[in-house]
Structure 1
Amino acid sequence: MPITSTGMASGVPIETIVSQLVALERAPLAGLQTQATKIQSKISLFGTLTSMMNSLGELGTKLADPNAFKAVKGSSSLAAAVGVTAATGTAPTAMSVEVSQLARAQSTATLAVPKDTAMGAGSLKITLGDWSSGSFVAGDKAAVDIEIAEGEDTLTAIAAKINAADAGVTATVLRDATGERLLMRSKETGEAMGFEMQVTDSDGVANTGLSRLAVQGGVASGVQITHGANALATINGIAIESASNTYKDGLPGITLQFSQTTTAPVEISITNDKEAMTKTIQSFVDAYNALNDMLSSTTGYNSETKVAGSLQGDSTAVGLQNALRGMMRSFTPGGEFTTLADIGIDIKSGGKMTVDSTKLGKALDNPQAVQNLFNADHVDPTAQGFGEKLKTFAEGFAGASGTLTSRSESLREAAKRNTKEQEKVNERAVRAESRYLKQYNAMDAMVGQLNSLNAFVTQQIAQWNKSTG
């Protein structure tokens, strides 16, 4: 309610007095607002801790994956000629590869015709099949028919129709000083992935009109044919043949990519990818250290700045910090490595985690033993693999009913109560302002009446004195 009286009758500064009284009514707001700021800060901090704990749990899941320590990599002594990739879990091995022929797709080129010549009416029938026997043998896929209109379809239009028909070939037009030619190519490589194009020409005359495009050996029409071919290579001296330059069916988990023929053996090796496995472990260490640093800064006391962390003394945060450090020192029986320290991961003073790269590298020479440390299966939860324990630990703190989640919810409830308390203080201040104004304005009015009465009495006395004088 706005203050409207200034104490004109009484001379009392009502506006100032009421304002000060209302300020006293609102005095509890300062404490409540400070408390609200602290609550919101804690909500934010616990939200961050929950997110970091979830990230750590996800890394636990990754570490517990049976393939986490089965990463391998392939190397080639001449990658420009023979590339190699290996699937996770492939056993380390080595081999020598020589490539005598690359796989290629069938390609054709017609004789040149004047540019933008209409090729005549008729139809094309494209059939996929095999030329390896010296004559064409149709494959299992049905032939594709394409209609060509009289006086309308140039080589460019015909190429577009072939491409749109999805007949297993691609077509384009090559233009030069002699005119233009229709070029066609199989979509797939290999001698069994060729094609034939039969032509039904409306003019019925060989080598004229549409019949100039026939791909049936190239004898009648003059179409040049380069037949498809398989890749030919040897692996450790054993001859192999592949319709594609990507060879993978004969080597489980290993894919070879042939790019050039070779003049000498290319050495291929598949080895454990210790670098990839080290990155997985380092990601876990980094995530743990980030969470540990967060807990240390928020629960500790900075002696230099003499400022306590926002969560100093908070039982949930301190409990998490202690439990986290303790869990990192847990024991997993039954394997060559039973603790993180065994593979070079140590907890230093202040909870900081460090990695001894030399020790870890040596441990990763036996990736199966490292894997057992992280995903060993035991009935006793405390004896589970470290990755499994980390998943369970994260769920216990950051899951739907976890400790951090419950603490965040209780803080949000506290924030709601704080908001209601502030509303109550403001409501009391508004009511008090109205009450004070009413009381002081009533006093001011009464003083005004008394002043008027005093003035009247004084006037009457003065007149009486004059009349008796």
Structure 2
Amino acid sequence: MQGLGNGIGSGLDINGIVKALVDAEAAPKSAQLNRLEKATTAKFSGLGQFRSALSEFQTALKDLNDPALFQKRSATSGKPDIFSVTADAKATAGNFNVQVFKLAQTSKVALAGVADPAAELGTGKLTINVGDTQLNIDVTEGNDSLTAIRDAVNAAGKESGLSASIVTDPNGAGGSRLILSSTQSGTGNDISVSVVSDDDPSALSGLAYTPPAPDADFTPTPVDPTDPMAARTISYGQDAQLAIDGIKISSATNTISDAIEGVSITLKSKQSKEDIDSQTSVSLAVAEDRAGVKSQLKKFVDAYNKMMGTVTSLTKVTKVGGEDGEPLAAALVGDASVRSFMSAIRNELGNAQGTDGMRILADLGISTQRDGTLAIDDERLDTVLKDNFEQLNGFLTGDNGLMARLNGKVDPYTQTGGILESRTTALQNTLSSVDDQREQLTLRIDKLEARLFSQFNAMDALVGQLSGTSDYLSGALSNLPGVVRQDRN
């Protein structure tokens, strides 16, 4: 129900009066709900940030509390261009001298040249052997050109690592040759081709090739100047030749993983003739992965400092407008959960446990600063990593290690159904309650507005009736005999 502006009978601004009364009734409760919603939303957001910071810190704790981190080994090569090296947990720390004489090599041959790669060579069967691997190619009518044979070899040899291509001599002397390549390295894995032709003789038979035995240096067969179209060996399959601490080793591939337990060596290039002649070796060192542990420790410190930064921003009081301004409290100022958590973490960091010489973080070179953050003394930490690597493992990892103890303080806050989740749920319920109270307030105010409009409209109608009666009586009385009207002269 609504008034009609100024009352007809009374002339009062009924709409304005009702609005003022309704606003006065709603204002206190509405302001209370707004304050509650703002404070609850701020706490909800603050707890979300706090929980996120704790989760990141907890991830760093779990990563550092991993015994496998201390079992990793680092391996370095004195000349990475000669060979690279990796090591796993099975490797034993030590130093080795490596000499690389030859790299493992794959076989590659150029079959006899033909004048036209599209010309028909005749039907039959090609058998290509690479070591113990055999590939049979059926050459049928219409698919008996050099180009068709190339495509057939590539389709059939894909899984076995055999491929074919055509190279054409632009001068025409060498013709077009089918080049066969294998990915199978090692001595004895040379490519040979035999042909069974349906027609004898045929151009297809000319593709047969058995490479001559290699010399001591596995020198490729040169081009025959008297027959430039003759087949030849471009490269022989050969083993890698190296020595580790003077022990000679042969390998069919350039990756050697069974010479030193836990160590994999990948050969990149052979040493120069001068280095081989002078018996110059390349160092190979295997050691604990100290750099990996140090990197993880730095991640732990960074995560802790980031968490501290979040806590500080959520619990500080700042003055708006300078030193004389009004104080503005962050979302979690005085929050009991934050206070209890930080107290537990600080106590655990200062809780001396372990063996002599390594009982608290400061013994590692990680100390607490005035602002509560952690800082690393790199020189001291490097000394600990060098001299007390195993002791450091026991201090940090395991059920009673520092990382597990710290995680035990964090877990009650971050786990499902934990402290922060329970508080977040309670805050969500509070926000839902605010919405319900706003709906109830709206209903109550609507009823109040309707009642006030009804009352004021009834009053306005009554005033209008009384005013009309007053006017009637005034007119009747003024017309009675003997009555002198005031407006007469």
**What amino acid does structure 1 have at the position aligned with 2:118?**
D
Counterpart position of 2:122: 120
Distance 2:482 2:125 in 1: 140
Counterpart position of 2:232: 224
Q: How does 1:245-264 map to 2 (within 5 A)?
A: 245-262=254-271, 263=275, 264=280
1:25-50 superposed Cα distances (whole Å, 9 cap, x missing partner): 33122221222122112112211211
Q: CA deviation at 1:78?
A: 1.8
Q: How does 1:426-441 map to 2 (within 5 A)?
A: 426-441=442-457
> Please, what is the CA RMSD of the aligned residues?
2.8
1:188 to 170, 181, 184: 184
Counterpart position of 1:356: 377
Q: How does 1:4-403 map to 2 (within 5 A)?
A: 5-27=5-27, 28-88=29-89, 90-113=91-114, 114-129=116-131, 139=132, 143-165=134-156, 166=158, 167-177=160-170, 178=172, 179-205=175-201, 208-217=202-211, 222-225=230-233, 226-262=235-271, 263=275, 264-302=280-318, 304=323, 306-334=327-355, 336-365=357-386, 366-377=388-399, 384-403=400-419
Distance 1:451 1:215 in 2: 130
Seen in structure 2, the aligned counterparts of structure 1 residues 407 and 202 have a Cα distance that, compared at 3 Å, is same
Distance 2:416 2:259 in 1: 48
Conserved 8 A contact 1:85-1:256: yes
Distance 2:124 2:375 in 1: 77
Distance 1:290 1:465 in 2: 102
Seen in structure 2, the aligned counterparts of structure 1 residues 4 and 373 have a Cα distance that, compared at 3 Å, is farther
Q: CA deviation at 1:240?
A: 0.4
Conserved 8 A contact 1:94-1:268: yes
Seen in structure 2, the aligned counterparts of structure 1 residues 312 and 97 have a Cα distance that, compared at 3 Å, is same
Q: CA deviation at 1:308?
A: 2.3
1:326-384 superposed Cα distances (whole Å, 9 cap, x missing partner): 1222333246522111111112334221111121111111221111111144xxxxxx1
Distance 1:360 1:440 in 2: 84
Q: CA deviation at 1:266?
A: 1.2
1:444 to 460, 465, 468: 460
Larger mean CA deviation between 102-111 and 27-36 belongs to 27-36
Larger mean CA deviation between 438-447 and 230-239 belongs to 438-447
Residue correspondences, number: 450
Conserved 8 A contact 1:325-1:351: no
Conserved 8 A contact 1:69-1:370: no
Distance 2:90 2:359 in 1: 23
Distance 1:4 1:322 in 2: 66
Distance 2:2 2:94 in 1: 88
Unaligned runs of 5+ in 1: 130-138, 378-383
> Are 2:422 and 1:422 aligned?
no
SS at match of 2:8: coil
Q: TM-score, normalised by structure 2?
A: 0.84
**What amino acid does structure 1 have at the position aligned with 2:466?**
L
SS at match of 2:177: strand
**What amino acid does structure 1 have at the position aligned with 2:208?**
A
Distance 2:142 2:2 in 1: 92
Distance 1:374 1:337 in 2: 10
**What amino acid does structure 2 have at the position aligned with 1:239?**
K
Distance 1:144 1:12 in 2: 108
CA radius of gyration, larger in:
2
Conserved 8 A contact 1:215-1:223: yes
**What amino acid does structure 2 have at the position aligned with 1:373?**
F
SS at match of 1:277: helix
Seen in structure 2, the aligned counterparts of structure 1 residues 237 and 26 have a Cα distance that, compared at 3 Å, is same
Unaligned runs of 5+ in 2: 214-228
1:51-96 superposed Cα distances (whole Å, 9 cap, x missing partner): 2212222221111111223443322222111222222563321111
**What amino acid does structure 2 have at the position aligned with 1:213?**
L
Distance 1:313 1:37 in 2: 17
Conserved 8 A contact 1:94-1:270: yes
Distance 2:373 2:260 in 1: 45
SS at match of 1:364: helix
Seen in structure 2, the aligned counterparts of structure 1 residues 155 and 392 have a Cα distance that, compared at 3 Å, is farther
Distance 1:459 1:176 in 2: 133
Conserved 8 A contact 1:120-1:151: no
SS at match of 2:184: coil
Seen in structure 2, the aligned counterparts of structure 1 residues 400 and 10 have a Cα distance that, compared at 3 Å, is same
Seen in structure 2, the aligned counterparts of structure 1 residues 70 and 461 have a Cα distance that, compared at 3 Å, is same
**What amino acid does structure 1 have at the position aligned with 2:242?**
A
